[in-house]
Chain A
Amino acid sequence: MATTTISHQAIGSIVSHNRPFKASLFLKEPLNVPMKLSPKRFKIEATASQVIDNTVLSPSKNKPFESKKRSNEAALILIRHGESLWNEKNLFTGCVDVPLTQKGVGEAIEAGKKISNIPVDLIFTSSLIRAQMTAMLAMTQHRRKKVPIILHNESVKAKTWSHVFSEETRKQSIPVIAAWQLNERMYGELQGLNKKETAERYGTEQVHEWRRSYEIPPPKGESLEMCAERAVAYFEDNIKPELASGNNVMIAAHGNSLRSIIMYLDDLTSQEVTSLDLSTGIPLLYIFRDGKFMKRGSPVGPTEAGVYAYTKRLAQYREKLDEASLN
């Protein structure tokens, strides 16, 4: 843990001495990689750490990062919520607002630990409690210690009542915006039905088609295409502009709404997106820079190292470390 902290400060000193803050530097901090053995660029960090003085940002005084940031880079974290009570019961959930199980709570906390060193300025969630809880639980692990605050604008009263009257406190806050457009795909008449029973009622093939096709919706429900339409539109209208302004964003949402967004980020075909499976509890990382999205973590990570494959070499190096520590 101490190693990571030092590199944190080291990055800070590089910033203040040389150039404007770049999210990429912040993100390149080694995750549990000892300084000595790291690739060349981290060596710079090691020497820089010697010149750290008190004027340099310490993790506890994180404000200046934002105001000095002139780069066009921003981090985008995607987190899929973990197990819900209906997952456990094998029921089609869709937009029914079912909470997390104990396991789901654990997954959220684990996810939080993985992103605890990645900056977050803004959080978007769906309007469903399982995604919101995932975000809030993950943020309890966040090292920067800014406080997430859920914005309320369902009515004028809600807006007025939730007003914060201290400028300083607002600066130490991370706005959380809940949006139904990030909800799970609406499953229509299948919502609440047992998966086995549904297969018996409609036939395994029909159900499989609803679940895995791109444009065929279940009765009164959404197809993946329809879900993607409203999720991506929301992303383009509300989230992308934030990234473009240099704000680091976290999205806590669902399997289908996140796949839809990834389809957009990675330019996937409808075929590719239907076979895309997102792990729960393992956040995905993208860097938005110069109008482009660069994936930094693979959606399906066979090992933890694979998810944070900043470079293949780093991932392999880390994997080696993990194996070595097992002996």
Chain B
Amino acid sequence: MATATSHQSIVSFASHRSSSSSSSTISQCLLREPLLNLPISKGFKIHSSLSCNNHTTSKKRNLCKIKAVASSQTETSVSSYNNNTFLSPSKNIPDLSKKKSNEAALILIRHGESLWNEKNLFTGCVDVPLTEKGVEEAIEAGKRISNIPVDVIFTSSLIRAQMTAMLAMIQHRRKKVPIILHDESEQAKTWSQVFSDETKNQSIPVIPAWQLNERMYGELQGLNKQETAERYGKEQVHEWRRSYDIPPPKGESLEMCAERAVAYFQDNIEPKLAAGKNVMIAAHGNSLRSIIMYLDKLTCQEVISLELSTGIPLLYIFKEGKFMKRGSPVGPTEAGVYAYTKSLAQYRQKLEEDSEVICS
């Protein structure tokens, strides 16, 4: 696999240049991901060198900018440096405690099809599970992030998001074990205690939070979308669904949903990222849009028209207090989702059109 080789080259390249070879930074892990499946091309070399020039600080951060793969020439020469002393994909246990960077990955996954999506019913906070299709979407999402490090997982308190996270993590290559934390009572806390430090180190805490739940749809929950339109009128329903601050009866507006979701993010998730922990959030359309609104500083207008794909994870890098988007929310084609740069996306799209082969 050309991609695999090129990744190893980048990684070896990194070890050669960086001062601390044993630690693994997000950048190294990110570079290992075969998300793009891009073959080598000259164009990327140019891009990577431009990025390198921008950096004056840690060498490790430089690596983050070398998104693109080196050209085939570099590949063969660098690959000779690749020996067993460096991380190979099979020894995927980077020692995160040595990580000195302020960089952290943030993965957002929107759950896939639920049984009420299938029946066209307003779901909101009713705890409806995934369909078979939704299960597959979760597994597919997991494959895409299988090489991105995950240290802690946040989910909503709804099973469809939790299942999505757990199914996605089955695909994860690092093989740390997600463990759902229980603090609903003293007994729950005591009973779920782990008595081995080694095991704890090999665990990824999973924290369920109602603040990440889907927007609560009040009196529309359980109603058929068509019937609701007949009962309240299409325009009224459209307004509830698409306005920013008008809630359905006894429900939440997007504004209200954003308020509790973003507050939770700022209080509980951002500090983790600031501490260098890589985070995955498995949640819902509206709670994730709210968070993206905060991450990307969107206007109310922009967030209303934001559509998140299901099954296609979004990637952000948190660095020096800033969030940098690495994957676009609306991907008309698969390539669009991992548009690290526009030219990369276009290049990939072209490849797919030419070959008519679906990248797995």
Q: Which residues of A contact B (CB under 8 A)?
A: 85-86, 89, 91, 94-102, 105, 127-129, 132-133, 136-137, 139-140, 147-152, 154, 157-158, 161-166, 169-170, 176, 180, 183, 186, 188-194
Contacts and interface: CB of A to CB of B under 8 A. Distances in A.
A104 B220 CA distance: 36
B199 to A, nearest CB: 4
Contacts of B200: 192
B222 A150 contact: no
Nearest to B185: A180
Contact of B196 (A147, A163, A194): A194
Interface string B197-237: 00110000010001001001011111110000000000000
A147 B219 CA distance: 19
Given A170-B222, A194-B199, 5 more contacts: A97-B179, A97-B182, A102-B170, A129-B162, A164-B126
B115 interface: yes
Interface string B164-188: 0011011000000111111010011
Interface of B: 115-116, 119, 121, 124-132, 135, 157-159, 162-163, 166-167, 169-170, 177-182, 184, 187-188, 191-196, 199-200, 206, 210, 213, 216, 218-224
Contacts of B132: 140
Nearest to B199: A192
Given A127-B182, A133-B163, A192-B196, A165 B219 contact: yes
Majority secondary structure, B binding face:
mixed
Contact of B128 (A105, A147, A165, A166): A147
Contacts of B163: 133, 136
B179 A162 contact: no
Nearest to A139: B129
B129 A96 contact: no
Contact of B224 (A129, A147, A166): A166
11 contacts: A98-B178, A99-B169, A101-B170, A102-B170, A105-B135, A133-B163, A152-B157, A158-B210, A161-B213, A169-B121, A183-B191
Nearest to A102: B170
Contacts of B180: 97, 99, 128-129
A96 B127 CA distance: 23
A224 to B, nearest CB: 16
Contact of B159 (A99, A150, A188): A150
B128 A191 contact: no
A129 B165 CA distance: 11
Contacts of B192: 95-97
The residue in A85, A102, A139, A190 that gathers the most chain B C-beta atoms within 10 A of its C-beta is A85
Contact of B179 (A98, A150, A164, A193): A98
B208 to A, nearest CB: 10
A137 B159 CA distance: 11
Contact of A132 (B126, B159, B182, B221): B159
Given A102-B170, A169-B222, A161 B129 contact: no
A238 to B, nearest CB: 18
A257 to B, nearest CB: 13
A97 B206 CA distance: 10
Contacts of B124: 161
Contact of A191 (B167, B194, B223): B194
Contacts of B115: 147-148
A136 B130 contact: yes
A191 B166 contact: no
Nearest to B165: A99
A192 B126 CA distance: 34
Nearest 5 A-B pairs (CB), nearest first? Answer: A192-B194, A164-B222, A150-B127, A97-B180, A192-B199
Contacts of A89: 177
Contacts of A102: 170
B126 A149 contact: yes
A128 to B, nearest CB: 8
Given A169-B222, A194-B196, A147 B116 contact: yes
A193 B195 contact: yes
A100 B166 contact: yes
A192 B157 CA distance: 25
Contact of B195 (A136, A154, A189): A189
B123 to A, nearest CB: 10
A49 to B, nearest CB: 30
B248 to A, nearest CB: 10
B300 to A, nearest CB: 24
Contacts of B157: 152, 158
The residue in B129, B200, B210, B216 that gathers the most chain A C-beta atoms within 10 A of its C-beta is B129
A128 B195 CA distance: 18
Contacts of B218: 165
